[in-house]
A = this chain, B = another copy of it.
Amino acid sequence: MVDAELPRFADADSLITAVVQDAQTGDVLMVAHMNRAAWQATLDTGYAVFYSRSRGRLWKKGEQSGHVQRVREIRIDCDGDAVLLQVDQTGAACHEGYASCFYRRFEGGDWITVGSPLVDPRSVYKSG
């Protein structure tokens, strides 16, 4: 049985922060959120499942693009309200096609794009 205390969900609707890191490279890929159901689905399936605040529903990462995240290790922070998922990333973590969502660096007062998209997002995500 999972420790009922951790992660700390105040209620069924409350969210924790999930940081996703590439298990191989150590690159931080994205930040998302989980409610209790997303957390349980991640444990049950071994793949990262989040709660989409914009869509108001569970969201298996890669459900549309195929760019899933196989979870290799999970850590929790001292406060119990943030988890770190170390994953094997299939394809690109970012819906813009970049390996990581953190593809812009602050430099000289502006945001500079680092690297190139791995995939063309138009080929992966259908509109409508």
Closest to A54 in B: B79
Docked-complex contact A31 and B109, CB < 8 angstroms = no
Identify which of A30, A82, A95, A106 gathers the most chain B CB atoms within 10 Å of its CB: A106
Chain copies in complex: 2
Docked-complex contact B75 and A104, CB < 8 angstroms = yes
Docked-complex contact B111 and A6, CB < 8 angstroms = yes
Size of interface on A: residues with Cβ below 8 Å to B? 36
Contacts of A111 in B (CB 8 A): 3, 6, 76
Docked-complex contact B19 and A31, CB < 8 angstroms = yes
Partner of A19, one of B2, B19, B109, B114: B19
Using a CB–CB cutoff of 8 Å, the interface residues on chain A facing chain B are: 1-3, 6, 17, 19, 21, 25-28, 30-31, 73-79, 82, 84, 94-96, 98, 101-106, 109-111, 114
